Structure 1
Amino acid sequence: MSTGRTDRDLLRIEELNVSFSVQGGMIEALRGVSLRVLPGKVTALVGESGSGKSVLGQMVMGLQPVSAKSSGRILFSTPDAAPRDLLAMPRDGRAIRAIRGRHIGMIFQEPMTSFSALHTIGDQVAEALQVHTVKSSAERRAVTEEMLGLVGFDDPARIYRMYPFELSGGMRQRAMIAMALICGPSLLIADEPTTALDVTIQAQILTLLRDLQLRRDMGMLLITHDLGVVANVADEVVVIYRGKIMEAGPVEAIFDNPQHAYLKGLMTAIPHFDMTPGERLRPLRDIPLDRARLHGAITPVARPADANPVLLSVRGLRKTFAVKQEQWALRGKAVVARPAVDDVSFDILRGECLGLVGESGSGKTTVGKILMRGLVPDTGTVTYDDGTGPVDVLRAKGEVLQRLRKRIQMVFQDPVSSLSPRMTVGNILSEPLDIHSIGTPESRRDATAALLEAIGMDRSVRNRYPHSFSGGQRQRIGIARALTLSPGLIICDEPVSALDVSVQAQILNLLKDLQRDLGLTYLFISHNLAVVDYMADRVAVMWAGRIVEIAPREVLMRAPVHPYTRALLAAVPYPDLARPLDFGTVGQSTAEASAAWPQAFQPDTGLTPLDLGSGHHVLANPAADAAELRA
């Protein structure tokens, strides 16, 4: 599938085959893969989970497992030498170690697990300099702080001393980029560099990668499942499915005239803002929802005719946290309490899906944890009313609290860490029934089996452990666990952020079907506005701990008023070459952009929620009129 002369290619992969021996035979991870990366260009490798993308990146870096069996050639041209076959080099030999980190850098998919929790950011970023250069300790620190500043940290010296857990997801990803680029490699392998990042941080990371790549004339192999990212940064595109290249070519040809059915299927699985009302996503493989089994396992939510239409009412929530570094400081430094949630109020109507969007650190997940009683707010009230009378969520005790825990459930962002690796799927699903003493052991087994079959999984998987499932299957198990107690409200905290587009479409369709068939109510927390546009009836936008705008979905997505909402929408990468990102504006941080907001939206002007009609409210100066705000 690759063209061009070998001596002009920075990286050239020829007929690469990789297989792994497992119990019962061999798994072919890559089958005859050929592609190229040119100097100063970006080649995007696109495919869903399990297609072999990350395995290919590991092979280039020489980081493949010992059990991997391979054939073919991986030719890499360093600036001072002729092309060399990386595959022929010993996996842990001196030759590959001299290239890895020095001439080829890699950004790993999950920066939290890729960093050591025991060493500072500075020590880990500077390690490559210690291995590949003869610089002194002071010189390494100076170069490291310079690189940390280059990737966007305002105070590199402070970041140098911090540990990975003290940084947000976007900040850890920036530090990972600094670690990959510290030695000035000629090739960068970026394995899902923006997965699970909010749209504004994603846009900043893409802007950063694009600028560094152009400035250093660096080639990049971008491994991703996000076609919106591909459309905005790639020069060439390679589409892979089950270890085999399906289609390859210039980005214009791939998007304007896709040929293979698999690529066309990926494009139809992506939620976008131009979808018609009622239109469903079309995943490559849909999940069959067995409605008869579902209603046999779960009791649909009753809706009394005279019940209050508001299921959950939140008023005046406020939660502050002391900054850890100041909290641990010696010599009497004052602890500064910073608000994560600042006077948040909203209602969730019975049977609706309320989308809660905002960038990392805006307070979305903190609100979800407060509603689940995982955190205690400083002030505020939360009232739940399912038709049997209002319940004060934050002060409920005893039997009232036990009943409330059955009625409010949560689907977590990361199905790996939220499912116990020591419990089988059957035990995970029956645990809520055990805790609340519902049914007999036999009836619990029957209920969990029925629930698994209802969401498209075989009852035989009850005896398997979470590690043996794919990401999409684990998320379905997480959803099944949340449904076990027949809840009225489910809080979905970024339930599809780490899933590829096809599995994401499966999960979103499943959630919509469950809402329709069981009468569920959702609080859907996400940073992906296209996903929220597909799922939500109303949308609330959070920034700096406050809800800055709330409106019906079609109003907010088509006619946003607050500049922050407009910035979020502008930062969404479309899988369309005719609608490119404006890297000149989306690469700004929110703190930088907020300084240029109109005076009516400036945080220091005594802001209050203003009613614009039709359920549309925006946080603004009370002296501003509607026409001025919409301008």
Structure 2
Amino acid sequence: MTSGADLLRIESLNISFAMLGGQIDAVRNVSLRVSPGKVTALVGESGSGKSVISQAVMGILPQTASASGRILFCDPALSETPSDLLQMPRDGREIRAIRGNRMGKIFQEPMTSLSPLHTIGNQISEVLRIHTTASKTECRERSEEMLGLVGFAKPSRAFDMYPFELSGGMRQRAMIAMALICRPALLIADEPTTALDVTIQAQILQLLRDLQTKMGMAMLLITHDLGVVANVADEVVVIYHGEIMEAGPVETIFRNPSHPYLKGLMAAVPHFDMKPGERLKALREIPVNAGNLLGKKADVATGPDVILSVRNIGKTFTTRKSGWFGKGDTSATLAVDDVSFDIRRGECLGLVGESGCGKTTLSKILMRAVKPDTGSITLHGADGDLDVLAAEGARLKALRTRVQMVFQDPVSSLSPRMTVQNILAEPLEIHDRGNAQARQEKVRTLIDAIGLDQRFLNRYPHSFSGGQRQRIGIARALALGPDLLICDEPVSALDVSVQAQILNLLKDLQKELGLTYLFISHNLAVVDYMADRIAVMCGGRIVEIAPRETLMRAPVHPYTKSLLAAVPFPDLDRPLDFAALNPSGASDKRSWGRQFSGDDGNTLFPADLGNGHFVLASRNADARELVS
């Protein structure tokens, strides 16, 4: 095929970075193409060179990078002959005429890519002012039209809003509007849905597909999510450590994968068809050695069947709009509303829901980091019950040893100024566990248990990968031998291959140490793999709670059904049903029905459907009616 038949053609691309210790070859001999009106997915783990390739295409490589090869861009609107983007001066007039105009880019993190000091409309219309001669009025009209296209219900209002006033999904839509305002021939989407809820992700994927079809543009989609690839891509390129492992049409790649790396990636993705006891196949397994970490499992799993009782927890946050001398309008947001549940000893309770539903606030209340307005929390143990909210002094210190947390972001949750040795020893020092020698021995046992070498103890967090940092966070949480581990989105920031490592590690530790987990996530496939029971949260309330098999196979609440319908499968035979998705979001009560939304005037109440299955519905609703 000649290069003229492709909109973008990369030939023998090499990119290296000059470092103090020598040269790093980030991309080696890469060749790929993007055809007009088609989607090419570039798939691989973090650090494989995906984003560097996109930077080379856009002409925004760092000064320390050097590149060779050819990046041919054949856009009939510019020229009949292909232009070699790599030969253009980085800040020259030629590349600036293409970048942002004929070629747009959506970045991974919309909050850091949008200016916090300028309105959404100002940032979108700036692109038009740079690349067109449109007047100020025309810029506003076209910007509002594009905001409407990407799903803003009131474009004129959104035009004057600042990024911090929008949710993550809406910020990503604003970023898409900015990338598409000049109607480019090529859109580069760099992990456009990684940080989003499963329902918002499905909406963004549908939006990108619709806009791509409507505008006839090509797309280079950079992702590590094979479910996204199966639902959007026409061609797939698999990259590992800067080299192409496999490439071809999406049908061939998914039905007949040939390279071991691609097969390994597919086996590492959790899915709903997994058999009981089936393990994820991580690309690089972690040897778990937890045998002598907390003593024998039998010694740990003692005490009452229920380890934590949560009753009628409520929390309202009050915000004040700006006013002189503290005077201004106040507004109240109900974050957690009358939440009750039990966590049984030795089980993993999954807590799922969209961003903003109250999951993290609830976890902070359980950890005594946030004080609730109403309700009670009781921690049960062999030596009696402990009132979590009333504990002070020695009892509060004892509580801290029994409940620990694994945080979402492994980067910001570890101190950059402390070595791994100090990070793992700190909890032991705070709680006066043993002498210096005993603590040293305990730290070595912890690092062994998570599958890291003892040589790493004197290194700092920045020298580890995301997955390794998360394992250090897990080791720190285990240092005091807790009964209950609260895992707040512990794998959402990780690649699927590293995610499989961490999930298997948590499962192994639970089995060997008899740990109890509260596992918070918005990824239902991950929760399905980890949890014994699942609670679904929406608008601060638990709308459904049931054993895992029941909830996944026979959900009753419309919100739960919407969450499950929005999960993209890495399977061509099970595409996302975009037509069935609720355009106003899963949490829009107008589409729930009278018995679930409370529109019939009755109080919502947990209805018992049997076998531990409860759903929030009208008090007078018939259980058989709900199931049907």
TM-score of the two chains, using structure 2 as the length reference: 0.95
Q: Which moved more, 1:144-153 or 1:57-66?
A: 144-153
Q: Secondary structure at the match of 2:321?
A: helix
Aligned AA for 2:441?
Answer: D
Are 1:272 and 2:268 counterparts?
Answer: no
- Inter-partner Cα distance in structure 1 for 2:297 and 2:177: 51
- Inter-partner Cα distance in structure 2 for 1:591 and 1:564: 6
Are 1:432 and 2:445 counterparts?
Answer: no
- Inter-partner Cα distance in structure 2 for 1:66 and 1:299: 55
Q: Secondary structure at the match of 1:287?
A: coil
Are 1:310 and 2:309 counterparts?
Answer: no
8 Å contact from structure 1 (residues 200, 589) kept in 2: no
Q: Secondary structure at the match of 2:505?
A: helix
Quick one: which of 604, 609, 623 aligns to 1:607?
A: 604
- Inter-partner Cα distance in structure 1 for 2:413 and 2:296: 25
Quick one: which of 28, 32, 36 aligns to 2:29?
A: 32
Q: Which moved more, 1:113-122 or 1:211-220?
A: 113-122
Aligned AA for 2:7?
Answer: L
Quick one: which of 310, 316, 333 aligns to 1:320?
A: 316
- Inter-partner Cα distance in structure 1 for 2:439 and 2:165: 42
2:225 aligns with 226
2:380 aligns with 385
Q: Which moved more, 1:393-402 or 1:156-165?
A: 156-165
For residues 156 and 430 of structure 1, do their structure 2 counterparts lie closer, same or farther at Cα, with a shift above 3 Å needed?
Answer: farther
Aligned AA for 1:266?
Answer: L
Q: 1:613-628 counterparts in 2 under 5 A?
A: 613-628=610-625
Aligned AA for 1:212?
Answer: L
For residues 408 and 217 of structure 1, do their structure 2 counterparts lie closer, same or farther at Cα, with a shift above 3 Å needed?
Answer: same
Q: 1:21-100 counterparts in 2 under 5 A?
A: 21-78=18-75, 79-81=77-79, 82-100=81-99
Aligned AA for 1:321?
Answer: F
8 Å contact from structure 1 (residues 433, 485) kept in 2: yes
For residues 275 and 296 of structure 1, do their structure 2 counterparts lie closer, same or farther at Cα, with a shift above 3 Å needed?
Answer: closer
For residues 175 and 420 of structure 1, do their structure 2 counterparts lie closer, same or farther at Cα, with a shift above 3 Å needed?
Answer: farther
1:147 aligns with 146
2:120 aligns with 121
Measured after TM superposition, the shift of residue 332 of structure 1 is: 7.2
2:14 aligns with 17
Aligned AA for 1:415?
Answer: P
- Inter-partner Cα distance in structure 1 for 2:196 and 2:481: 31
1:106 aligns with 105
8 Å contact from structure 2 (residues 388, 399) kept in 1: yes
8 Å contact from structure 1 (residues 450, 459) kept in 2: no
Measured after TM superposition, the shift of residue 157 of structure 1 is: 3.9
For residues 189 and 332 of structure 1, do their structure 2 counterparts lie closer, same or farther at Cα, with a shift above 3 Å needed?
Answer: same
Q: CA RMSD in A?
A: 2.0
Are 1:523 and 2:518 counterparts?
Answer: yes
1:198 aligns with 197
- Inter-partner Cα distance in structure 2 for 1:383 and 1:135: 64
Cα deviations across residues 58-116 of structure 1 (Å, max 9, x unaligned)?
11112222111211111112322132111111222232222211111111112222233
2:238 aligns with 239
Measured after TM superposition, the shift of residue 359 of structure 1 is: 1.1
Q: 1:167-182 counterparts in 2 under 5 A?
A: 167-182=166-181
8 Å contact from structure 1 (residues 315, 382) kept in 2: yes
For residues 89 and 484 of structure 1, do their structure 2 counterparts lie closer, same or farther at Cα, with a shift above 3 Å needed?
Answer: same
8 Å contact from structure 2 (residues 539, 587) kept in 1: no
For residues 406 and 459 of structure 1, do their structure 2 counterparts lie closer, same or farther at Cα, with a shift above 3 Å needed?
Answer: same
- Inter-partner Cα distance in structure 2 for 1:132 and 1:440: 67
Aligned AA for 2:553?
Answer: R
Cα deviations across residues 517-569 of structure 1 (Å, max 9, x unaligned)?
11111110011111101000000001111111000001110111111111111
1:357 aligns with 352
Aligned AA for 1:94?
Answer: R
- Inter-partner Cα distance in structure 2 for 1:166 and 1:422: 33
Are 1:7 and 2:4 counterparts?
Answer: yes
8 Å contact from structure 1 (residues 239, 246) kept in 2: yes
Are 1:567 and 2:555 counterparts?
Answer: no
For residues 297 and 447 of structure 1, do their structure 2 counterparts lie closer, same or farther at Cα, with a shift above 3 Å needed?
Answer: farther
For residues 585 and 52 of structure 1, do their structure 2 counterparts lie closer, same or farther at Cα, with a shift above 3 Å needed?
Answer: same
Measured after TM superposition, the shift of residue 22 of structure 1 is: 2.8
Q: Which moved more, 1:180-189 or 1:609-618?
A: 180-189
Are 1:405 and 2:400 counterparts?
Answer: yes
Cα deviations across residues 255-291 of structure 1 (Å, max 9, x unaligned)?
1111111111111111111111100000111111123
For residues 175 and 444 of structure 1, do their structure 2 counterparts lie closer, same or farther at Cα, with a shift above 3 Å needed?
Answer: farther
1:463 aligns with 458
- Inter-partner Cα distance in structure 1 for 2:458 and 2:505: 23
Measured after TM superposition, the shift of residue 463 of structure 1 is: 2.3
Cα deviations across residues 459-513 of structure 1 (Å, max 9, x unaligned)?
2222222222211111111111111121111111111112111111000000001
Gaps of 5+ in 2: none
Measured after TM superposition, the shift of residue 225 of structure 1 is: 0.8
8 Å contact from structure 2 (residues 186, 217) kept in 1: yes
- Inter-partner Cα distance in structure 1 for 2:309 and 2:607: 19
- Inter-partner Cα distance in structure 2 for 1:369 and 1:15: 51
Q: Which moved more, 1:533-542 or 1:116-125?
A: 116-125
- Inter-partner Cα distance in structure 2 for 1:443 and 1:104: 60
- Inter-partner Cα distance in structure 1 for 2:612 and 2:210: 42
8 Å contact from structure 1 (residues 317, 377) kept in 2: yes
8 Å contact from structure 2 (residues 107, 113) kept in 1: yes
Q: Secondary structure at the match of 1:289?
A: coil
Q: Which moved more, 1:442-451 or 1:36-45?
A: 442-451
For residues 348 and 425 of structure 1, do their structure 2 counterparts lie closer, same or farther at Cα, with a shift above 3 Å needed?
Answer: same
Measured after TM superposition, the shift of residue 296 of structure 1 is: 4.2
Q: Which moved more, 1:62-71 or 1:138-147?
A: 138-147
1:188 aligns with 187
Cα deviations across residues 357-407 of structure 1 (Å, max 9, x unaligned)?
111111111111111122222211111112222112122111111111111
Gaps of 5+ in 1: none
Aligned AA for 2:107?
Answer: F
2:210 aligns with 211
Quick one: which of 335, 340, 347 aligns to 2:342?
A: 347
Q: Secondary structure at the match of 1:288?
A: coil
For residues 414 and 299 of structure 1, do their structure 2 counterparts lie closer, same or farther at Cα, with a shift above 3 Å needed?
Answer: farther
2:280 aligns with 281
Aligned AA for 1:163?
Answer: Y
Aligned AA for 1:317?
Answer: I
- Inter-partner Cα distance in structure 2 for 1:416 and 1:123: 32
8 Å contact from structure 1 (residues 298, 483) kept in 2: no
What is the total number of aligned residue pairs between the two structures? 623
- Inter-partner Cα distance in structure 2 for 1:587 and 1:36: 35
8 Å contact from structure 2 (residues 290, 513) kept in 1: no
